[in-house]
Amino acid sequence: MAGFVNRGNRGSGKTPFSLTDSLKKLSSFGMQYDDMVLRQSQAIGPIEDAMGYGGLGMGNMMGADPDNMYDAFAAFSMADTGMRKNIPFFDQNYVGKRDELRRFSTYDEIEDILDILCDESIVYDNKNFIGTPELIGMDVNEDVNSYMQKAFRQIYQYFGFATDQSVWYYFRKFMVDGYLSFEIIYSPDQKEIIGFKEIDPVTLIPGLNTDDGKKMWTQFKGDPQKERNLYDSQVVYISYSSITTTSRVSYVERLVRSFNLLRIMEHTRVIWAVTNSSYRMKFVIPVGGKSKTRAKQSLAQLMGNYKEVVDFDWESASLETNGKPMLQFNKEYWLPSKDGESPEIETLSSEGPELSDTEALKYFSDKLKQVSKIPYSRFMYEDGGEEYSMAADGMIRDEIKFAKFIKRLRSSFQEILVKPLWLQMCLKFPEFANDPQFKTQIALQFNEENMFAELKQMEIMERRLDFVSTMQDSLMKVDPVTMEEMPYFDMEFLVDRYLKLSPDDKEANLAYRARAKATDAEEPEVDPMAM
């Protein structure tokens, strides 16, 4: 089966797929777990203790061999992958939890929150791209940069992101499920990535190959028919729990409690309104001439006649009375009485909470908005929405917190594109494979909402210009030769320090200035007397 490494062949009858040494080497990026590191380590890490690997004299919970160095490798590999909560394979309740989270995400309020979050995080340009790759703090020649841009476009297309909105839906799935994983498929010569296949993260568990010590992922561990072993260079794996200190598996999970409380409040008000919406009348019927048995029979018959079964469907919000989708506008109660000679008719009043008082409901609604981390102003539908404030002082604290949260989400999600790009770059330029910093320097520059971002940047630049002008004019000094006042700060210093122009911007500005001077010099002077 192409793309898989089948260790031991385990009776499958399939020829193992062998990776080249270069791809195997790329499966061990990060810390080099060599023999020296293993032998010099004396402490028991949290992962080793939790997993029970015994390479360093630890317990033998999972059958680890205390004398086998590769069991220690596996423990370190687990630490490199992340905490145990980052691997759904070890969470026995995850599959059921995921199904519940997926169902939960279909509620209108949750859908709205997810749409806002995804629309803010994933912004398409006119070519259907969500961003461009860049190297942070690293200068490369034009050929390398050009190939990186080309490789990124190919990877983007191989995912199918260039032809539809699937990257938006994958991000939404990441927010709901908390995990995403893909197999990276290479060409027969293993020099180029040619495609991707989505993998259920539940089926994956990290470890190391006992033959070469390279990081691997085992799929369907323990199943003789399905078990496969993939090198780390064949797998893209991201986890939401890796960017949070809580035990939540996904973003949606943080919304469950607040939403359920809000729903209880809403349903309570609905049920109370329904049960007290009918006009009630009480009829007292004399039964003085009847025996005790006949009186009970009459009462039972009346109870059967006027008993109501009201069912409220929490999912669809539909209401049924005695199995019918209707609600009576009046109710009558007939009661037997041994006292009295004539029937009594009485109108019953129903009193309940004032439904116009929405403070409690508003409290839980605001609580849901708070835990979503989305600024409250994004939900102001009753006022027709709120306009973006273009002034820098309009960036309230909630917007700043929200922007940082979006940045953390993007930093984790970008791995599905950044890792394949890094692998492709290392295959093309083998020297990058030996650079431990190269992978960390590749980042995806996500698109922003153009109008808001541009206007905000213009406002920021305007404030910088005002500050530079103030610094230039406010502090003066006397020239010791001419005894004339002159600015204390040099303009070039202020521009470099506070305008924060990039070297390319400064060069472009100089080029435009030179072009303008050349144009002025070429224009002939006009004699006003000749006109």
Residue extents of the structural domains in the chain: 21-250, 278-348, 450-524
**Distance between CA atoms of 100 and 393, rounded to whole angstroms?**
42
Helix axis angle for 94-104 and 166-177, nearest 10°, is 120
Kindly indicate the confidence band of residue 58, based on its pLDDT and cuts at 50, 70 and 90: very low
User: Would you list the DSSP string of 247-312?
Assistant: S-SSTGGGGHHHHHHHHHHHHHHHHHHHHTSSEEEEEEEE-TTS-HHHHHHHHHHHHHHH---EEE
Residue 294, number of CB atoms within 10 A of its CB: 12
| Burial zone of 35 (CB within 10 Å; 0-12 exposed, 13-18 middle, 19+ buried) | exposed
Taking 80 as the threshold, does the pLDDT of residue 116 lie above it?
yes
Q: Which residues of 136-165 are buried (b: 16+ CB within 10 A; e: fewer)?
A: eeeebeeebeeebeebbebbbebbebeeee
Are residues 338 and 295 in contact, defined by beta-carbon separation less than 8 angstroms? Answer: yes
Taking 60 as the threshold, does the pLDDT of residue 380 lie above it?
yes
3-class secondary structure, 505: helix
**Distance between CA atoms of 184 and 217, rounded to whole angstroms?**
13
Query: Mean pLDDT across the stretch 262-266?
Result: 84
Helices (H), 105-234: 108-121, 142-158, 166-177
Work out the percent of the chain whose per-residue pLDDT is above 70: 64
Query: What is the per-residue pLDDT for 400?
Result: 78
Query: Mean pLDDT across the stretch 425-451?
Result: 84
Query: What is the per-residue pLDDT for 340?
Result: 57
Work out the percent of the chain whose per-residue pLDDT is above 90: 23
Kindly indicate the confidence band of residue 246, based on its pLDDT and cuts at 50, 70 and 90: low
Over its C-alpha atoms, the chain yields an Rg (Å, rounded) of 35
Query: Mean pLDDT across the stretch 207-217?
Result: 79
Taking 80 as the threshold, does the pLDDT of residue 31 lie above it?
no
Query: What is the per-residue pLDDT for 8?
Result: 41
Closest CA to 44 of 75, 86, 78, 84: 75
Residue with the larger pLDDT of the pair 450 and 440: 440
Residues 6+ away with beta carbon under 8 Å from 443: 133, 134, 135, 136, 414, 418
Query: What is the per-residue pLDDT for 69?
Result: 41
Are residues 424 and 192 in contact, defined by beta-carbon separation less than 8 angstroms? Answer: yes
- Token readout for 292 is 């005790």
Query: What is the per-residue pLDDT for 62?
Result: 40
Residue 422, number of CB atoms within 10 A of its CB: 24
Taking 60 as the threshold, does the pLDDT of residue 437 lie above it?
yes
Residue with the larger pLDDT of the pair 6 and 49: 49
DSSP run (H or E) holding 134 = strand 131-135
Query: What is the per-residue pLDDT for 141?
Result: 86
Mean pLDDT estimate for the chain: 75
Query: What is the per-residue pLDDT for 308?
Result: 66
Query: Mean pLDDT across the stretch 365-391?
Result: 69
Query: Mean pLDDT across the stretch 239-244?
Result: 78
Are residues 74 and 207 in contact, defined by beta-carbon separation less than 8 angstroms? Answer: yes
3-class secondary structure, 199: strand
Taking 70 as the threshold, does the pLDDT of residue 4 lie above it?
no
Kindly indicate the confidence band of residue 180, based on its pLDDT and cuts at 50, 70 and 90: very high
Are residues 453 and 446 in contact, defined by beta-carbon separation less than 8 angstroms? Answer: no
Are residues 26 and 19 in contact, defined by beta-carbon separation less than 8 angstroms? Answer: no
Taking 60 as the threshold, does the pLDDT of residue 495 lie above it?
yes
Picking from 65-74, 160-169, 255-264, 347-356, which range would have the lowest pLDDT averaged per residue?
65-74
Residue 358, number of CB atoms within 10 A of its CB: 12
Kindly indicate the confidence band of residue 324, based on its pLDDT and cuts at 50, 70 and 90: low
Query: Mean pLDDT across the stretch 256-270?
Result: 84
Picking from 31-35, 85-89, 227-231, which range would have the lowest pLDDT averaged per residue?
31-35
**Distance between CA atoms of 23 and 207, rounded to whole angstroms?**
17
Taking 70 as the threshold, does the pLDDT of residue 6 lie above it?
no
Kindly indicate the confidence band of residue 287, based on its pLDDT and cuts at 50, 70 and 90: low
| pTM for the structure as a whole | 0.69
